[in-house]
Amino acid sequence: MLPIAKELFISFGSHKYHVMHMRLPSVRQTTHNEVRPVIKDFVEKVQEKMTILGVIVDSQMTFDLHVTEITRKCRQRLGYMKRISGSTRGPDMYAIRQYYLALIRPVITYACGAWFIKQREGVSTRLNFGLNKKLIGRLQSLQSECLRFVSGAFGCVAGTLLEKELFIENMWSILYSQATLQRSMSFTSHDSRWRSLSCGDGSSKARIENPIIPLEKEAGEMLKGAVEYQMLLAQDSDDPSHVQAMADRFADRKGRGKIGYIAGREATQLAAGKYPSRSRLPVALDERWGKQSLGYYKGLTRAQSTMLFQCRTEFIGLKYHLFRIKLGDAPHCRCNKSRETPFHLFVECSDLASNRKHLFRELQHNNFSTLLTVDGRVAAEWAIRYFDIEQFDNVRKKSSIFPFDPSCISPREERISTSNSLQSTLPGQTMVSFANGITLLDTTQGTSTSPRRAVPVSFDRAPTGFETRQPQ
């Protein structure tokens, strides 16, 4: 090549080229001994990774480094949104959800047709050199982390529940569909010469099948199904089975009926001998999968959508949930008649009976499921007003629908900065630290008669009175 380039007066830019020796994923040690091609002025060392059109390719084709870089970029962009938004302030849930779909998820799916080497579930044919399940799990965890911020969730809510409420597909489905779409679009390319170079012409059979071949077969099946779907769509028919057949062809299996683990959870609770009232599922689980769940949050402020989400999932800063996650002393409501849950406070609690009259006058009903669905805005406003959750202290008095009742809110414990907590502890006082990073000052002669409880705070900013003291 170099003599030909010299005859044509073309100079070879050796600085533009890199060398990387590939090895099996099972081989940990390098075996190439820094062997490089003999090219004039080429002095670069053998690389263990390369960035090719934005995709980090390592010598073992595991794409672990690429997933690590994806995680870094996504968390950086998520940090930008956290600067202007929180669980009770900033843009509404719809705007933050759109930010995730437009600016964060494309970072994950970029060029996934090149690196997402994975078959659809249920295929018996083995795929050589497929993507590790741990990497897919890392990407799924990354999406769940982002969706917890989008929804304003409290604690570690299950990723499936987040996807259901926000009407967002899981990461495996997104990556597989995007990668298959990219491969199927290559079949319609005008220049098909590269196909014989990448997959061979079929004249020889390799010992290990190229993983791209079965993946492209799946892409071809999808393209064929799309053509058949268009043919069915072109046929006019009033038969309901015809319409259902078209819907079934591309229906997401997780969108058919209830979430799979609902029935199992009901059976487990009944087998344990729990009372029917205690086996009641959260509203978010006891309904069909669909975009109607996302519609319940339309038009709500950031604080209202956060409260509604927490009430629907029951991952909320009330005594029962705090007791379950080892942050509370007791699960019972202060009326001592039942556990403190959203259902108890909305329907049963005698201490809130007078305040529930305001809610009934506004909506003319007290059906719990209806409160957390079609009447979610009013129910969330009522809950912000009367639920004893410190996370909503900064927005509680801004409500104008329901009158404020200070007797519903317990006195807050005094907080001090953790930077000088040891020096500022007075005699007769002890420091109490909770798992959420908040340190409370517990006095032996407290003025509050109610038992001390750990309360959730917003994850994005320090609560009032908890900021670091500035030097004078």
Answer yes or no: is pLDDT of 107 > 80: yes
Position 205 confidence tier, pLDDT thresholds 50, 70, 90: low
Answer yes or no: is pLDDT of 454 > 50: no
The answer to whether the beta carbons of residues 318 and 342 sit under 8 Å apart is yes
pLDDT average, residue stretch 349-367: 92
pLDDT average, residue stretch 358-377: 92
Look at 122 and 90; give whichever has higher pLDDT: 90
Answer yes or no: is pLDDT of 229 > 50: yes
> What percentage of the chain has pLDDT greater than the value 70?
73
Answer yes or no: is pLDDT of 148 > 90: yes
Answer yes or no: is pLDDT of 308 > 90: yes
Among 10-19, 149-158, 161-170, whose mean pLDDT is lowest? Answer: 10-19
CA–CA distance, 167 with 177 (Å, rounded to integer): 16
DSSP string of 351-400, one letter each residue: GGHHHHHHHHHHHS---HHHHTTTTHHHHHHHHHHHS--GGGHHHHTT--
Q: What is the pLDDT of residue 203?
A: 56
Q: What is the pLDDT of residue 444?
A: 37
Look at 70 and 274; give whichever has higher pLDDT: 70
pLDDT average, residue stretch 102-106: 95
Answer yes or no: is pLDDT of 47 > 80: yes
Q: What is the pLDDT of residue 470?
A: 47
Position 293 confidence tier, pLDDT thresholds 50, 70, 90: very high
CA–CA distance, 439 with 365 (Å, rounded to integer): 42
Answer yes or no: is pLDDT of 254 > 70: no
How far is the CA of 327 from the CAs of 88, 145, 330, 375, 454, in angstroms?
22, 21, 9, 31, 6
Under 8 Å CB-to-CB from 264, ≥6 apart: which residues? none
pLDDT tens by residue, 406-446: 888 888 876 544 434 333 333 444 444 444 444 444 433 44
For the CA atoms of 28, 118, 213, 181, the dihedral, rounded to the nearest 10 degrees, stands at -140
Average pLDDT of every residue of the chain: 78
Position 246 confidence tier, pLDDT thresholds 50, 70, 90: low
CA–CA distance, 250 with 169 (Å, rounded to integer): 14
Range among 184-198, 265-279, 347-361 with highest mean pLDDT value: 347-361
Residue 411 φ/ψ, nearest 5 degrees? -60, 140
pTM: 0.74
pLDDT average, residue stretch 13-29: 80
Q: What share of the chain is helix, strand, coil (3-state, %, to 5)?
A: 45, 5, 50
Cα 406–411–412 angle (5° rounding)? 125
pLDDT tens by residue, 330-349: 999 999 999 999 999 999 99
pLDDT tens by residue, 54-100: 999 988 888 999 999 999 999 999 999 999 999 999 999 999 999 99
Answer yes or no: is pLDDT of 201 > 60: no
CA–CA distance, 101 with 81 (Å, rounded to integer): 13
Q: What is the pLDDT of residue 268?
A: 54
The partner residues of 51 in beta bridges, in order of sequence, read 56
Q: What is the pLDDT of residue 92?
A: 94
